[in-house]
Structure 1
């Protein structure tokens, strides 16, 4: 059986599309080193001034700390719930699995602005607006489908006979899960956790609705900076956000390859 290689035209077209998608994101990197007081491209001069401003101003430091706190809490909660949901779905019939999977994936399908508007009323009633726990719960709703998808994909390849063999050798259900099932699910759990963290760390729409002065995330602070300041400090924050995401994905890729 011969494998057809992609044509040169197809390769060039794919490369052009990738450049078109990535180039606007990469432009913020040189802009962040400009010496001017406003965003301009090409940048004028080279300076680390705006990175110093980012870490010197408390509103930006607090926003970065809030984003890490919310993303970490979201990752833990979404990963635990996602593994439980994926295991539960794996034990259902095919029809029930499809129906419930569709309901769980709805946060990926429904526009985020609709989810944000739906959450605001119950959040205001229970006093969760402008709180870190409120943001964690809201972001978990968005991140949960990513964990379920990755864990469910690994579960489909899992040989359940290994679990039955462990049980037949005297292992309890908890021991069989901890020593057989859980190690097999680690790649899916790791992938789901990474996507959950990035989903929360980059999310801005829901955070705009329910965040406040005491729970302002970095994307919300960047949004405010673009609206009222148009300062290169926003480009510095964008570069740090981009580098953090790339670093996290690279570490996950290296770990998974190892």
Structure 2
């Protein structure tokens, strides 16, 4: 006998939950479904119905020096910010996983502050700080600024992976004579890797999408794709913006596929190792 048959109203509750989930997914995806097809229009306006399919706006992005520079800058800054944020966020999660650390709750809250502090406040503060440090209008300054925003996402994901890990595994490895370095490399790091990879994807996506802080700390040579889209919206609304948004979506989707593929490969290797033993 099923659970739904045992519990009164179980089937209705499951149907309601499914409907609510479908509505939430639709709410998140409908704006994308509305804008992304306009990247393939041959019209010069963002209007429906689409007069005809065309790749002209992707060609316009490739031929425009401003757009190509923005795409390259986004890849450079996004990659740098992801590496920095992943290292710092992972180390922070490892350091704060034990209650032995004094004021661990306060320190965790400090790491999560960039998620709740308005981006304008962070942008103004970084602009003043960078002016004194000589990092204004530099790639290093923009990478650091984006990394500050990305660290909380890495910390949350890695902390989730570490929380689901049984500490007995590390103690067992240590009791068998493994050094702390070997325990970390062969036990802790592989088990935390899904959270690390997921945090890295969120970090890269956050960097690609960031525009407010970039307006404060970046110079003309560090214009990112999101900032170029913002500037284009102010000057001229064209389907090139939809094409740029499509590129951002494709990059994020490819990263998610890479993470899922890496997790699948790791799971298969772990399964083969268990079967071989």
TM over 0.5: yes
Distance in 2 between the 1:185 and 1:24 partners?
A: 34
TM-score calculated relative to the size of structure 2: 0.86
Is 1:225 aligned with 2:238? no
Q: Distance in 2 between matches of 1:24 and 1:193?
A: 25
- Of residues 32, 44, 48, the one that matches 1:41 is 48
Larger RCO: Structure 1 or Structure 2 (Cα < 8 Å, ≥ 6 residues apart)?
A: 1
Q: Does 1:32 align with 2:33?
A: no
Aligned residue in 2 for 1:2: 3
Classify the secondary structure of the residue corresponding to 1:62: helix
Q: 1:123 to 1:93 in 2, by over 3 A?
A: same
Does 2:245 match 1:244? Answer: no
The answer to whether the 8 A contact 2:114-2:149 is kept is yes
What is the rounded CA distance, in whole Å, between the counterparts of 1:30 and 1:147 in structure 2?
32
**Is the 2:95–2:101 contact (alpha carbons within 8 Å) kept by the matching residues of 1?**
no
How far apart, in 1, do the equivalents of 2:188 and 2:169 lie? 9
Structure 1 residues not aligned, in runs of 5+: none
Partner Cα separation in structure 1 for residue 254 and residue 145 of structure 2: 25
For residue 246 of structure 1, report the CA deviation from its aligned partner: 2.3
Alignment of 1:164-175 (within 5 A): 164-175=171-182
**CA distance, structure 1, for counterparts of residue 171 and residue 136 of structure 2:** 47
1:34-183 residue pairs with structure 2 within 5 A? 34-93=41-100, 96-183=103-190
Compute the displacement of 1:94 (Å): 8.0
- Point out the more displaced range, 57-66 or 95-104: 95-104
Say if 1:31 and 1:42, in contact at 8 Å, map to a contact too. Answer: no
- Closer, same or farther: CA 69–16 of 1 in aligned 2, 3 Å: same
TM-score of the pair, normalised by structure 1: 0.92
Q: What's the RMSD between the two structures over aligned residues?
A: 2.0
* Superposition map of 1:194-213 within 5 A: 194-213=201-220
C-alpha contact 1:67 1:218 (8 A) present in aligned 2: yes
CA contact (8 A) 2:201 2:252 kept: no
Cα distance in 1 between the residues matched to 2:152 and 2:14: 36
The alignment of Structure 1 onto Structure 2 pairs a total of residues equal to 258
Q: Specify the SS of the correspondent of 1:90.
A: coil
Runs of 4+ in 1 over 4 A off after TM superposition: none
CA distance in 2, matches of 1:60, 1:192: 28
